[in-house]
């Protein structure tokens, strides 16, 4: 069995990370979504245990003390964290894992786990971000303004990612993300482990 791949997806709020990753999970086999813990309030339609695990600040801080997070960060004024068990469970089952986490979390995962594929999602214009945040229900104007302000800083990190998915036309962005995942699965370092025979003929270290 091969070890699953960590796909780390970041990008400004409203860029379409949730929409894209949900589509990917439906389309591809052998990939799951890492459910983070957060102290922010659920948006309409969000389900505890599916979209996030919604906890109080006290519960989150207790988890930090107990070293339960692979990474955690304060984003737009709320706590968010990836539990270690998501990564360990995916790895032990050989399943690929998609982490929708911010740029601070992505840096921590890179330092801590070394491997991983880093993907940045963004529309091509700032105006599109604003429109999408306004269209999405669940946040007031102050929260939306905070997210737009943070977007400019987040965009400065774009070049530290391996891939950029421009999410203007949703179907095209989904196709591109699927292509990235499929291509990464075919990298020789990984695909070679799937060969049942011929391993003695391998020609690289
Ligand atoms: P994120 O998870 O990055 O914060 P979402 O996936 O919640 O972003 O998307 C924000 C809003 O934009 C949602 O209402 C979603 O339906 C919409 N959206 C996502 N992608 C597109 C797109 N390509 N064109 C138009 N609207 C989009
Ligand atoms: P939202 O509140 O819009 O769902 O997410 C806000 C931001 O938090 C997004 O940038 C999202 O990627 C990030 N985020 C979600 N879960 C985690 C997590 O577990 N860790 C970190 N560092 N960021 C997260």
Between the CA of 140 and the centroid of ligand 1 the distance, in Å, is: 17
Tell whether 59 is covered by a domain: yes
Lowest mean pLDDT among 69-73, 113-117, 158-162: 113-117
Tell whether 1 is covered by a domain: no
Residue 39 exposure: Cα atoms within 13 Å on the Cβ side: 17
Residue, of 189 and 89, whose pLDDT is higher: 89
Other residues' Cβ atoms within 10 Å of the Cβ of residue 205: 3
Kindly give the number of the ligand 2 atom that is closest to the alpha carbon of 103. Answer: 22
Span 127-156, average pLDDT = 91
* pLDDT of the residue at 202: 64
* pLDDT of the residue at 140: 87
Which CATH number do you get for residue 34?
3.40.50.300
Tell whether 185 is covered by a domain: yes
> Rounded distance, CA 32 to CA 9, Å?
13
Range of the domain at 101: 6-204
Tell whether 30 is covered by a domain: yes
Q: How many domains does the chain have?
A: 1
Between the CA of 196 and the centroid of ligand 2 the distance, in Å, is: 39
Between the CA of 82 and the centroid of ligand 2 the distance, in Å, is: 9
Model pLDDT for residues 16-75, shown as the tens digit of each residue:
999 999 999 999 999 999 999 999 999 999 999 999 999 999 999 999 999 999 999 999
Span 157-165, average pLDDT = 97
Tell whether 119 is covered by a domain: yes
Q: 84, 101, 137: which to mutate for ligand 2, most atoms within 8 A of CB? A: 101
Supply the residue whose CA is at minimum distance from atom 23 of ligand 1.
Answer: 170
Tell whether 130 is covered by a domain: yes
Question: Is 176 in a helix, a strand, or coil?
Answer: helix
């Amino acid at each position: 069995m091969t070890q699953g791949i960590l796909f780390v997806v970041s990008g400004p709020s409203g860029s379409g990370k949730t929409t894209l990753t949900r589509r990917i999970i439906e389309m591809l086999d052998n990939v799951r979504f890492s459910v983070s813990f957060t102290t922010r309030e659920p948006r309409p339609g969000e389900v505890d245990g599916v979209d996030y695990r919604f906890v109080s600040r006290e519960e989150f801080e207790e988890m930090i003390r107990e070293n339960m997070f692979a990474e955690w960060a304060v984003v737009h004024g709320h706590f968010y964290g990836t539990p270690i068990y998501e990564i360990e469970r995916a790895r032990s089952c050989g399943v690929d894992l998609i982490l929708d986490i911010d740029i601070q979390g992505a840096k921590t995962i890179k330092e801590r786990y070394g491997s991983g594929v880093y993907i940045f999602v963004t529309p091509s214009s700032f105006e599109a971000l604003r429109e999408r945040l306004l269209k999405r229900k669940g946040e007031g104007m102050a929260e939306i303004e905070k997210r737009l302000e943070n977007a400019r800083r987040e965009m400065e990190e774009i070049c530290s990612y391996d891939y950029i998915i421009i999410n203007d036309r949703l179907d095209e962005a989904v196709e591109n993300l699927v292509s990235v995942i499929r291509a990464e699965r075919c990298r020789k370092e990984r695909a070679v482990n799937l060969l049942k025979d011929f391993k003695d003929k391998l020609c690289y270290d």
